[in-house]
Structure 1
Amino acid sequence: MLSDLKRIIDQISRDRGFDKTLLIEAIEEAVQSAARKKFGSRRDMEVRYNEEFGEVEVFQFRIVVEKAEDEQTEISFDEAIKLDPEVQIGDELGEKMLDISDLGRIAAQSAKQVIIHRMKDAEREVIYDMFKDRIGEVVSGIVQRFERGNMIVNLGRTDAILPKDQQIPKRSFKQGDRIRAYLKEVRQTSRDSQLILSRTCDDFLGKLFQLEVPEMAEGIVRVMGVAREPGFRAKIAVSSSEGDVDPVGACVGMKGSRVQNVVQELQGERIDIVTWSPDPAKYVYNALAPAHVSMVMADEDANSLLVVVPNDQLSLAIGRQGQNVRLASKLIGWRIDVKSEQRYNNLQDEGYQSLLKLPGVDESLADQLFGKNIFSTAVLAQKSVDDLIVIRSIDEDFAQRLIDEAKLIPFVAKESTQEEIAPMKEPESGIQAPEVEIEGAVEVPPTNESEVEGTQEAGTVDKAE
């Protein structure tokens, strides 16, 4: 067995990328541990690997004495002189022990465990050095198995783990499928997997576009922001350093080929591609597409935006369960308050403001009161309970409380009617959105829709969600 040791060391070092020295040290440590179990732990032993002969040699060192009383640490002068005629009493004499094949089964098993442990440690170091500089890249592998919801992915040299909370919900893979994921973390020491993957992080979407869009690899088009609700919808903002390169069109590709590749990788996640702008008002105008925006007012101190949209665009701007405006807010990093033109007009009315001062009255209820021609607290104070309970959210007790409270709040102003409310005008501090088509948004369907011819310049408008 030992005659082939040199060949085995060379082969393992080559196949697994180990430094040969690390493997030799592991073998020496293992043999020394086994020899101590076989011959006693008090012996002064030294193990050396003879690379010339491909053998592991075990030496023990004992003190030369006149008459040995402890065989593990002492050797008699008569025995020592047979080994070295020039030896003197008090010298430390080294002696080669028996062949390590005589160590025995238990000692050999112990040596095997030490070697395996050292090899695992060495392999972890190799894997760490190999992947530590690849954090943030997209890696490709094969689905190996599933463990308590976590996915184990074979990357070729080693396995990585895709935790359950980093998987796109309601999207399934089976054993043997090829999968791409974002390398999120590389652990230097870990009993479990060293490599942690993710398919739900925002950076994964940006990296996929970088792989699909040559202009990004050249540095012409850049990803400026990403916001995702994994598995459902995402928004990505892009910009171009060259005026003649449309960043949105570059990401879409001919007939939508580039963006469709990303959509397929994300298994149908809808993607909005918008043009980035340093102006928050213009940026939110693009980010809320396909909804049309009438006016934007920015409060830079509070990092908030008031966005006014046509009445028939409100549900489209907000999106299903607030998804569209939520993603736009995350993309920009500002708080966004979306209001319809009608509600914005109402908020400018003094009578409407007086209604909002009543306990329990919010904008929604104030809108309903306006719909019943109750334009101020002065008008409300003159109404009866029967006049108010026709509104679904008002019962008799609440109606009476509203009337009583309205009588306590004075309102001195010309009573307006719904018809007298002036059309919306842009406040001096407001930022009027330009009356042009939206040039910074593309709504990408998750499945086969009508093909996109050439570069997309205008955002498609979906049905209100």
Structure 2
Amino acid sequence: MATGVTANRAELIAIANSVASEKMIDKGIVIEAMEDAIQRAARTRYGQEMDIRAKLDPNNGDLRLWRVVEVVEEVDDLYKQVDVAGAQKLQKGAVVGDYLVDPLPPIEFGRIQAQAAKQTIFQKVRDAERERQYEEFKDRAGEIITGVVKRVEFGHIVVDLGRAEGVIRRDAQIPREVVRVNDRIRSLILKVVRENRGPQIFLSRAHPDFMKKLFAQEVPEIYDGIIEIKAAARDPGSRAKIGVISHDSSIDPVGACVGMKGSRVQAVVQEMQGEKIDIIPWSPDIATFVVNALQPANVSRVLIDEEEERIEVVVPDDMLSLAIGRRGQNVRLASQLTAKAIDIMTETDSSEKRQQEFVTRTETFQNELDVDETLAQLLVAEGFTELEEVAYVELDELAAIEGFDEDLAQELQSRAAEAIERREQANREARQALGVEDAVAELPHLTEEMLVTLGKAGLKTLDDIADLATDELIEKKRAEPRRRNEDAPKRPEHKGGVLGSYGLTEEQGNEIIMAARAHWFADDEQPVADVAEEASEA
């Protein structure tokens, strides 16, 4: 490249064409790099303070070199300014404020200048190449690409993608997969990140979308949109589950994905190093989908807790280990597939749990309503679980229970209301004993029981509440599955918000916190409601 700067005109253009073609970048970028290198060399020759410009004709190689000077009344900078008298030598009629071109003679490049020019051109070309790589791959996230393993560094696989390099990090690889240099490898483009040293193209073979894209390549119905993969979950290198649905009633989605004698699914299995794949019919009914997702285990009953976003699944006693799977794999994949937390219980456990709940609720009604065991059991059997349900249910619904009449229903509701008031009074006294301010008790949506919980957590003033983020206040705790293999890796404990067990919505949590912050803006001219609304939007 050093000879390129001192070469004749034809050679300069030939070099520019060659570099542009080899690096697959615009020829204009190479010409611009050459011009920049010539300008740097000229400043070294004539002075760094000068505003020197160079122009290389991309067609014939003609080179023009000049400096730009400003016409001023009194010269302060000899390198960039000229007075009116001196300006007349460069251009007749020049006036103050004009910028003039002062042609410079061509320069001879020595060894140092040639080396500097070479580095400048190389840097410009490298920058342009990196930008071209980024522009080429930035919109290709989610595609499958084939490359050649270039090297393995610290467990990460560097893949030659032809015009760029990608990396498969250790956590994005299929465990125990043996990869050698020069092996051809397929992977998913996970994301493309612009960095100073060039675009970082992150690839993955462990992501569920990699499996989805492989099925799209092997199953024409998926590629055409007739069959859709609604959900996917993977334990890379071991087992996977996909939920599929057909938009054409005449086509079986599971059969189409399996293929003749399993040919289609086997092609995907081989690419994923023998990973076993369960193909499951997807259903909009979450209970049905959970039953399908837990295959091959049989499910007796599914109980859905919509508030907690948890699903309790009851299986026969002899199916427990099969439903959970080795190290909890089957239930874990089913949970990922359905995006719900799943608890597995046996028939025996479920029966014991229901019996215990029946006894506990019966005792609660006996003690709080001051009724005999038979009447309390009757209420529980009819589906009543809390005092609030008894107190606020329609009177006709309560009186319609066999053996009840309107007078008994009214008496039960009266006693339930009194019990609730006694409980509120006890919580109020407990809250005051904890030192929770009355101003906190006036915040919306908070009950005395919630205030006691806040007090126990050390949140006793408006400022204490105002300093919280919404999720710190109301986010629900994600409980661990009740059945867990001791060898399975344990997830980090998620404690949730202080009031996470009370079922408050995000909107209610925002209202509580903004009401607590209202006193911060009490002296402002802007209404508090407006400030709260702006903060909520932010």
TM-score by length of 2: 0.59
Which is worse superposed, 269-278 or 297-306? 297-306
Distance 2:216 2:357 in 1: 54
Q: Secondary structure at the match of 1:234?
A: strand
In the alignment, residue 33 of structure 2 is paired with which amino acid?
Answer: A
In the alignment, residue 352 of structure 2 is paired with which amino acid?
Answer: N
Counterpart for residue 453 of structure 1: none
Deviation readout 1:134-157 (Å, 9 max, x if unpaired): 111111100001222221101111
Task: Note if contact 1:347-1:353 (Cα within 8 Å) is conserved in structure 2.
Answer: no
Counterpart for residue 155 of structure 2: 149
Distance 1:198 1:292 in 2: 34
Task: Note if contact 2:313-2:345 (Cα within 8 Å) is conserved in structure 1.
Answer: yes
Deviation readout 1:415-445 (Å, 9 max, x if unpaired): xxxxxxxxxxxx99xxxxxxxxxxxxxxxxx
- Pairing 1:17-416 to 2, within 5 Å after superposition: 17-60=24-67, 96-100=103-107, 102-191=108-197, 193-349=199-355
Counterpart for residue 448 of structure 2: none
Q: Secondary structure at the match of 2:139?
A: helix
In the alignment, residue 46 of structure 1 is paired with which amino acid?
Answer: R
Distance 2:356 2:69 in 1: 104
Structure-2 change in CA distance of 1:108 and 1:80 (3 Å): farther
Q: Secondary structure at the match of 2:66?
A: strand
Q: Secondary structure at the match of 2:318?
A: helix
Aligned residues: 355
Identity among equivalent pairs (%): 44
Task: Note if contact 1:5-1:55 (Cα within 8 Å) is conserved in structure 2.
Answer: no
Counterpart for residue 410 of structure 2: none
Please state how far the C-alpha of 1:88 moved relative to its aligned partner. Answer: 9.7
In the alignment, residue 161 of structure 2 is paired with which amino acid?
Answer: L
Task: Note if contact 1:167-1:200 (Cα within 8 Å) is conserved in structure 2.
Answer: yes
Please state how far the C-alpha of 1:96 moved relative to its aligned partner. Answer: 4.7
Please state how far the C-alpha of 1:35 moved relative to its aligned partner. Answer: 1.3
Which is worse superposed, 9-18 or 24-33? 9-18
Higher RCO (C-alpha 8 Å, min separation 6): 1
Please state how far the C-alpha of 1:162 moved relative to its aligned partner. Answer: 1.4
Task: Note if contact 1:160-1:193 (Cα within 8 Å) is conserved in structure 2.
Answer: no
In the alignment, residue 115 of structure 2 is paired with which amino acid?
Answer: Q
Counterpart for residue 15 of structure 2: 8
Please identify which structure carries the higher helix content: 2
Please state how far the C-alpha of 1:98 moved relative to its aligned partner. Answer: 4.3
TM-score by length of 1: 0.68
Q: Secondary structure at the match of 1:113?
A: helix
Task: Note if contact 1:161-1:193 (Cα within 8 Å) is conserved in structure 2.
Answer: no
Distance 2:231 2:273 in 1: 21
Counterpart for residue 379 of structure 1: none
In the alignment, residue 109 of structure 2 is paired with which amino acid?
Answer: L
Distance 1:295 1:245 in 2: 29
In the alignment, residue 41 of structure 2 is paired with which amino acid?
Answer: A
Structure-2 change in CA distance of 1:265 and 1:85 (3 Å): closer
Distance 2:91 2:184 in 1: 71
Please state how far the C-alpha of 1:173 moved relative to its aligned partner. Answer: 0.4
Distance 1:334 1:28 in 2: 62
Q: Calculate the aligned-residue CA RMSD, in Å.
A: 3.6
Task: Note if contact 1:2-1:55 (Cα within 8 Å) is conserved in structure 2.
Answer: no
Q: Secondary structure at the match of 2:40?
A: helix
Distance 2:268 2:345 in 1: 33
Please state how far the C-alpha of 1:314 moved relative to its aligned partner. Answer: 1.1
Please state how far the C-alpha of 1:169 moved relative to its aligned partner. Answer: 1.9
Please state how far the C-alpha of 1:349 moved relative to its aligned partner. Answer: 3.6
Task: Note if contact 2:304-2:311 (Cα within 8 Å) is conserved in structure 1.
Answer: yes
Distance 1:351 1:241 in 2: 44
Distance 1:135 1:40 in 2: 48
Distance 1:353 1:142 in 2: 66
Q: Secondary structure at the match of 1:296?
A: strand
Please state how far the C-alpha of 1:23 moved relative to its aligned partner. Answer: 2.0
